[in-house]
Amino acid sequence: MKFDAQNALSRRLRLIADIDAEDEAAVRALPVTHREVDDGVDIVTEGETVRQCCILIDGFTCRYRHTLEGKRQIIAFHVPGDIPDLHSLHINQMDHSFAAMTRCRIGFVPHEAVWSLCLKRPNVAAALWLETLIDGAIFREWIVGLGRLSGASRTAHLLCELAMRIRSVGLAPDNVYRLPLTQNELADALGLTVVTVNRVLRDFKLAGLIDRSRSRLEIKDWNRLAELGEFDPKYLHFRSPIATTGIARQ
Amino acid sequence: MKFDAQNALSRRLRLIADIDAEDEAAVRALPVTHREVDDGVDIVTEGETVRQCCILIDGFTCRYRHTLEGKRQIIAFHVPGDIPDLHSLHINQMDHSFAAMTRCRIGFVPHEAVWSLCLKRPNVAAALWLETLIDGAIFREWIVGLGRLSGASRTAHLLCELAMRIRSVGLAPDNVYRLPLTQNELADALGLTVVTVNRVLRDFKLAGLIDRSRSRLEIKDWNRLAELGEFDPKYLHFRSPIATTGIARQ
DNA sequence: CGCCGGTTTGACCCGCGTCAAGTTGGGTGG
DNA sequence: CCACCCAACTTGACGCGGGTCAAACCGGCG
């Protein structure tokens, strides 16, 4: 039952907003096409005009752009429950690409269906709008990091953010996460190079902050990592207090 | 007549969206309190809970945050017609501050009034949502710059962006703008230091790209500046083709 | 006239990029 | 079941873009 877009979506909306049973029923009535997408595939490409929104049900995706020199900057990561291109509802020409970083299960909902849902259920419209605003809040957080924090702090921040977001969708029983990102991908999100990311992660491991092997990440000292990354989860705007307290014990 | 929030707002909405006469009338009926704010004053402070939105009518403002070390990162600049804290409609605890960079004239609209306007006029709701999405698109653009472009490119990009946004609200008859930003403020937006910004601007002047004195900026070679900054105004999502072509001749 | 915020310039330094050369380990085919 | 491959990871040597520190300079304003 977790592997279905309507469920993922209504669960997400409950996480961030106040929606009632009728709203939820309307969400569950959305027409959705499900699709599996392979690791590394572009789901939407920069410049494309889209007529549907994606709901990420399972797997990890990112949004990115390339500079003229061919350097890649990852703009956002997405975990199950996210609606990575909800903004396309109003801006349907994509100004960046959107790709699967693992094998993913994705639900597609036509824009018109979302439109009419918004007209019928203002609460849902508000919740969806809020979802795009949280997206924006995360962008702001990244801007501050990229502009004013050291490579190590940015890395710490990102690890905390991802941990918290993964945790908020119930995918992390304890402080161990599945984080299927290569160091290259981390570097492209952090505005660093692989070499630097590698050294930062090595230092974190030596300092006893994390433990990482392949796609497994264990945060061994949440408090120190969060402090180093100046991480305060308020900007994620989860309503549940559980989701916004430290990882400590749950 | 330009100096009134209802006008500024309906004008902005027409710039980005399709609103009809009735929508516009509803916008003009919004209750607005006008206020003058001095240069340098914080209009909203991080952590504050707000119950109203601001419409910038005249002057320049920015949004910013400080790191724990006290470094400042400017997250966004705003020109007349912008609604800098529209996101507060759904996220009313501010995760950053919002300050006047010149003496400003600002209109305040209570959230409830915006809410009921959105319920009555779905087109206006869509336009306002779009406005917040464009805000987000600008954030993405800044992320790419901060992560992957050189200091000089970022600076060029920012100058182009501000020129285009100022121009879109009709405040620039030719290629000369009033840009009342200190080099310090530019540096805080660009993730650089004053020293570097100063050198970049000196080089731009020597290369014949710009001419700048005090709060006056002249872009002498739009094409080269835009190329250097990898600037493509698509992300600003203006509907008017005039606003999205190069500065060249209008 | 003198103050002061903003600008300009020089000298030096460091975080991170660049280049290059391994190493490791999961997946594949023989 | 082993040999090989290749993507991801790791480490070292070195250089550069931009930060830091410090000292003028400039011009508007009280």
Whether residue A133 and residue B132 make contact (CB cut-off 8 A), yes or no, is yes
What is the least distance, in Å, from the CA of B224 to any CA of chain A? 14
**Reported confidence tier of residue A242, pLDDT bands at 50, 70, 90:** low
Q: Evaluate if the CB of A119 falls below 7 Å from strand D.
A: no
Mean pLDDT value across residues B15-38: 93
**Reported confidence tier of residue A87, pLDDT bands at 50, 70, 90:** very high
Tokens 């889209």 found at? A50
Give yes or no: residues B166 and B199 share one domain: yes
Would residue B227 count as lying in a domain? yes
Number of domains in chain A: 2
Residue A152 pLDDT: 98
Would residue A138 count as lying in a domain? no
CA distance B2 to A208: 60
pLDDT over 60 (residue A1)? no
Which residues lie across from A52 on neighbouring strands? A110
Please give the protein residue whose CA is closest to the C1' of the nucleotide D21. B195
The DSSP bridge pattern shows strands B33-37 and B104-110 to be antiparallel
pLDDT tens, B129-155? Answer: 999 999 999 999 999 999 999 999 999
What is the residue range of A99's domain? 5-132
What is the least distance, in Å, from the CA of B49 to any CA of chain A? 13
Q: In A, which residues are within 8 Å of B72 by CB distance? A: 148
Residue B245 pLDDT: 47
Mean pLDDT value across residues A163-168: 91
pLDDT tens, A37-55? Answer: 999 999 999 999 999 999 9
Give yes or no: residues A128 and A10 share one domain: yes
Domain boundary pick from B132, B163, B179: B132
What is the least distance, in Å, from the CA of A154 to any CA of chain B? 11
pLDDT over 50 (residue A76)? yes
Whether residue A91 and residue B130 make contact (CB cut-off 8 A), yes or no, is yes
Would residue B238 count as lying in a domain? yes
Distance in Å, residue A196 CA to nucleotide C16 C1': 7
Between residue 176 and residue 235 of chain B, the positions with Cβ below 7 Å from nucleic chain D are 191-193, 195-196, 214
Using a CB–CB cutoff of 8 Å, tell me whether B137 touches chain A. Answer: yes
pLDDT over 50 (residue B50)? yes
Residue B250, number of CB atoms within 10 A of its CB: 12
- CB of B114 within 8 A of CB of B129? no
Region of A184 on the Ramachandran plot (φ > 0 left; ψ -120 to 50 alpha; else beta): alpha
Give yes or no: residues A174 and A122 share one domain: no
CA distance B191 to A58: 35
Residue B169 pLDDT: 83
Q: Evaluate if the CB of A193 falls below 7 Å from strand C.
A: yes
**Reported confidence tier of residue B1, pLDDT bands at 50, 70, 90:** very low
Would residue A80 count as lying in a domain? yes
Q: In B, which residues are within 8 Å of A196 by CB distance? A: none
The CATH number linked to A77 is: 2.60.120.10
Using a CB–CB cutoff of 8 Å, tell me whether B146 touches chain A. Answer: yes
Give yes or no: residues B115 and B197 share one domain: no
Mean pLDDT value across residues B34-42: 93
Distance in Å, residue B196 CA to nucleotide D17 C1': 10
Which residues lie across from A55 on neighbouring strands? A107
- CB of A222 within 8 A of CB of A210? no
pLDDT over 70 (residue A69)? yes
Which of B72, B73, B143 shows the shortest C-beta gap to A139? B143
pLDDT tens, A106-138? Answer: 999 999 999 999 999 999 999 999 999 999 999
Whether residue B75 and residue A143 make contact (CB cut-off 8 A), yes or no, is yes
Domain boundary pick from B98, B132, B166: B132
Give yes or no: residues B69 and B44 share one domain: yes
Give yes or no: residues A125 and A164 share one domain: no
Residue type, A204: F
Give yes or no: residues B127 and B169 share one domain: no
Mean pLDDT of chain A: 92
Using a CB–CB cutoff of 8 Å, tell me whether B2 touches chain A. Answer: no
Which residues lie across from B53 on neighbouring strands? B109
Q: Evaluate if the CB of A237 falls below 7 Å from strand D.
A: no
Would residue A224 count as lying in a domain? yes
- CB of B183 within 8 A of CB of B194? yes
Domain boundary pick from A64, A98, A132: A132
Residue A96 pLDDT: 97
- Token pair listed for B120: 């009555």
C-alpha distances in angstroms, B37 versus A1, B42, B186? 54, 9, 21
Give yes or no: residues A9 and A128 share one domain: yes
pLDDT tens, B192-233? Answer: 999 999 999 999 999 999 999 888 999 999 999 999 999 999
User: Which bases of chain C come closer than 7 Å to a protein CB?
Assistant: 5-11, 15-20, 26
pLDDT tens, B240-250? Answer: 655 444 444 33
* Burial profile B19-44: b = 16 or more Cβ within 10 angstroms, e = fewer: beeebbebbeebebeeeebeeeeebb
Which residues lie across from B106 on neighbouring strands? B35, B56
pLDDT over 90 (residue B61)? yes
Q: In B, which residues are within 8 Å of A65 by CB distance? A: 140, 144
Q: In B, which residues are within 8 Å of A122 by CB distance? A: 118-119
The CATH number linked to A214 is: 1.10.10.10
Minimum Cα–Cα distance from A119: chain B residue: B122
Would residue A28 count as lying in a domain? yes
DSSP calls for A181-218: --HHHHHHHHTS-HHHHHHHHHHHHHTTSEEEETTEEE
pTM above 0.75? yes
User: Which bases of chain D come closer than 7 Å to a protein CB?
Assistant: 7-13, 17-22, 28
Using a CB–CB cutoff of 8 Å, tell me whether B65 touches chain A. Answer: yes
Would residue B250 count as lying in a domain? no
Q: Evaluate if the CB of A75 falls below 7 Å from strand C.
A: no
Residue B195, number of CB atoms within 10 A of its CB: 10
Would residue B137 count as lying in a domain? no
pLDDT tens, A205-222? Answer: 999 999 998 789 999 999
CA distance A210 to A191: 21
Distance in Å, residue A51 CA to nucleotide D22 C1': 58
Whether residue B146 and residue A143 make contact (CB cut-off 8 A), yes or no, is yes
Give yes or no: residues A113 and A225 share one domain: no
Give yes or no: residues B195 and B228 share one domain: yes
Please give the protein residue whose CA is closest to the C1' of the nucleotide C8. B198
3-state helix, strand, coil split of chain B in percent (to 5) is 45, 20, 35
Which of B87, B147, B237 shows the shortest C-beta gap to A146? B147
CA distance B201 to B94: 33
Please give the protein residue whose CA is closest to the C1' of the nucleotide D27. B214
Helix (H) or strand (E) holding B201: helix B194-206
pLDDT tens, A149-161? Answer: 999 999 999 999 9
Give yes or no: residues A88 and A155 share one domain: no
Give yes or no: residues B12 and B128 share one domain: yes
